Amino acid sequence: ARLGLVAVAVMAISAATGWGQILTFDFDGLRGGEASAMSNANNANLFSSTITRGAGLTATNGDGWNQFNSTSWATTSIANAVSGNKYVEFTITPRAGFSGTGGTQIALRSSVDNYSSNLEGVKSVSDSISATTLSWISGFSGSSSSAVTYRLYSYVQNATGQGGPGGGSGNDIVVYGTFTAIPSAPTITSITPGNRQLSVAFTAGSDGGSSIMNYEYSTDGGTSWRYTSGTTSPLLITALSTDGSTALANGTSYNVQIRAVSMVGTGTATASTAATPRTTPGTPMILSVTPGNGQLTVSFGAPSSDGGSPITDYEYSINGGSSFTSRLSTSTTFVIGSLMNGSSYNVQVRAVNAAGRGTATSSWAGTPRTTPNAPSINYVTPGNKQLSVGFMAGSDGGSAITNYQYSTDGGTSWRTHTSTFSPILITTLSTDGTTALANGTSYNVQLRAVNAAGSGTATSSTAATPRTTPGAPTSLALTPGNGQLTASFFAPSDGGSPIT
> Which residues, 6 or more positions from 130, have their beta carbon under 8 angstroms from its beta carbon?
none
Both ends of the chain: CA-CA distance in Å? 168
Transcribe 131-142 into DSSP letters.
PPPEEEEEE---
Neighbours of 165 (CB within 10 A): 22
Give the whole-angstrom CA distance, residue 200 versus residue 188.
7
**How many Å apart are CA 417 and CA 406, to the nearest integer?**
7
Note the CATH architecture for domain 285-366: Sandwich (2.60)
Residue 471 has a pLDDT of 86
For residue 14, the model assigns a pLDDT of 39
**Gap between the Cα atoms of 325 and 154, Å rounded:** 89
Fold agreement (187-275, 376-464): yes
CA distance 91 to 7: 8
Residue type, 40: N
pLDDT at position 106 is: 65
The pLDDT assigned to 66 comes to: 30
Residues of the chain with pLDDT under 50: 1-89, 91-103, 126-135, 137-147, 156-171, 175-179
406 close to 424: Cβ distance less than 8 angstroms: yes
Query: What is the secondary structure of 162-229 as a DSSP string?
Result: -EEE---TT-EEEE-S----PPPP-EEEEEEEETTEEEEEEE----TTS-EEEEEEESBTTSS-EEE-
Which 8-state DSSP code applies to residue 111? G
pLDDT tens by residue, 174-217: 544 334 567 899 999 999 999 999 999 999 999 876 789 999 99
Query: In Å, how far from its chain's centre is CA 2?
Result: 71
| Residue 124 confidence (pLDDT) | 63
The per-type count for the chain, helices as H runs and strands as E runs, is 0, 38
Pick the CATH number of 376-464 from 1.20.1070.10, 2.60.120.20, 2.60.40.10, 3.40.50.800: 2.60.40.10
Tell me if 367 sits within 8 A of 451, measured CB to CB. no
Domain ranges of the chain: 6-175, 187-275, 285-366, 376-464, 472-500
Is 187-275 in CATH node 2.60.40.10? yes
pLDDT score recorded for residue 409: 98
Report the phi/psi class of residue 28: left, alpha or beta, with left for phi > 0 and alpha for psi in -120 to 50: alpha
Residues 111-131: b if buried by 16+ CB within 10 A, e if exposed: ebeebeebbeeebebeeeeeb
Distances (CA, A) of 82 to 41, 50, 243, 365: 16, 16, 37, 78
Q: Is the distance from CB of 264 to CB of 45 less than 8 angstroms?
A: yes
Q: Which of 267, 233, 240, 245 is nearest to 255 (CA)?
A: 240
CB 357 within 8 A of CB 280: yes
The β-bridge relationship of strands 172-175 and 76-78 is parallel
- Backbone torsions φ then ψ of 66, nearest 5 degrees: -70, 120
- Classify 269 as helix, strand or coil: coil
3-state secondary structure of 294: coil
Radius of gyration of the chain (CA): 55
pLDDT tens, residue by residue, 22-77: 334 433 333 333 444 444 444 443 444 444 433 333 333 333 323 333 333 333 44
Cβ atoms of 289 and 298 within 8 Å: the answer is yes
